[in-house]
Structure 1
Amino acid sequence: MTEAVELRARRREDADVLAAIHTRSRAAAMPWLAVLHDEAETRGWMRGVVLAHQQVLVAERDGRPVGFAAVEGEWLEQLYVAPESIGTGVGQALLDAVKADRPTGLSLYVFARNTRARRFYEAAGFVLVAESDGRDNEEREPDCTYRWSGISG
């Protein structure tokens, strides 16, 4: 069921709530994924890296953040939706907005075992371009690189 969602630019005060969405979403979608950082570290990363260096779009329902996307250059670095909002159109709204802002294309990484996310991105026109054994990510989890070629003219 798709419900109305409002999109807005990030605010400095979003760090804690976005870190919580990140942590809860990863735990719900990927219970097999190693948890390498505690809540304080995740909040610090959200403040010092994501909000400081990436273009962040926040999805809200009733004035409450329920998801976010973060882009740096041509890379979709983060797209996370609160577990209770998965399947309600939040992720699609965020991805559509990011694609509209990057009409020449976009790349992303996704863990190989995250089949739901892989299906989501494939349905949105992303194509698998590479696979790795995980030696280059901190979780040491096999991952995939996907690319969306952009809006063809």
Structure 2
Amino acid sequence: MTTDHPAEAPVPAGRLPAPLLRKAIAADATVLAAVHTDARAAGMPWLPRIHTLEQTRAWFEHVVLPHQHVTVAEADGQVLGFSAVDDGWLEQLYVTPAAQGQGVGQTLLRAALNEHPGGLHLHVFARNTRARALYERAGFVCVETSDGSTNEEHEPDCTYAYPPP
């Protein structure tokens, strides 16, 4: 999918300041959809792109933001990433390509774990080795694998749990 959203000011290259975390608001739908789309395209180029940016924005506006606990990471007024948790499941964790590898995902994951001391589960595509490594470093354990027949991308995935069962 091509990026068809207005360009935001670029995230500066180099080391970023520590991100500030805040609760997402309805007005974040557009920027969160862009982060989601851009991070998936950059980090998982093999993943089919089955939704347009506008469909993704509508999904954030009508599903994710009203029904999930969404935390936004930002620095210098720029959104760097976000996480979304629903009923003990980490449903989303995406970081802008320019901010990846700088601790933003780890910060969002740590905050999600702190807010859900009973633990979290998550699904991750099996080929997404970078995300799997992040979760494993945080203590998550793969408890199930799937052939992808139950996700809309039809991509094999793994279910992780923290704490391990």
Structure 2 match to 1:62: 76
The separation in 2 between residues aligned to 1:64 and 1:9, in whole angstroms, is 15
SS of 1:113 mapped into structure 2 = coil
Identical counterparts, % of pairs = 57
SS of 2:17 mapped into structure 1 = coil
The separation in 1 between residues aligned to 2:29 and 2:118, in whole angstroms, is 29
The separation in 1 between residues aligned to 2:16 and 2:26, in whole angstroms, is 28
Structure 2 match to 1:29: 43
Are 2:139 and 1:125 aligned?
A: yes
Structure 2 match to 1:71: 85
Are 2:62 and 1:48 aligned?
A: yes
- 1:2: Cα distance to partner? 6.1
Structure 2 match to 1:7: 21
TM-score where L is the length of structure 1: 0.96
Structure 2 unpaired stretches of 5+ = 1-14
Aligned residue runs from structure 1 range 74-153, under 5 A = 74-149=88-163
SS of 1:56 mapped into structure 2 = strand
Runs of 4+ aligned residues of structure 1 deviating over 6 Å after TM superposition are none
What is the number of residues matched between the two proteins?
150
Q: What letter is aligned with 2:24?
A: R
Structure 2 match to 1:16: 30
SS of 2:101 mapped into structure 1 = coil
Q: What letter is aligned with 1:132?
A: S
The CA RMSD measured in Å over matched residues stands at: 1.0
The separation in 1 between residues aligned to 2:163 and 2:101, in whole angstroms, is 25
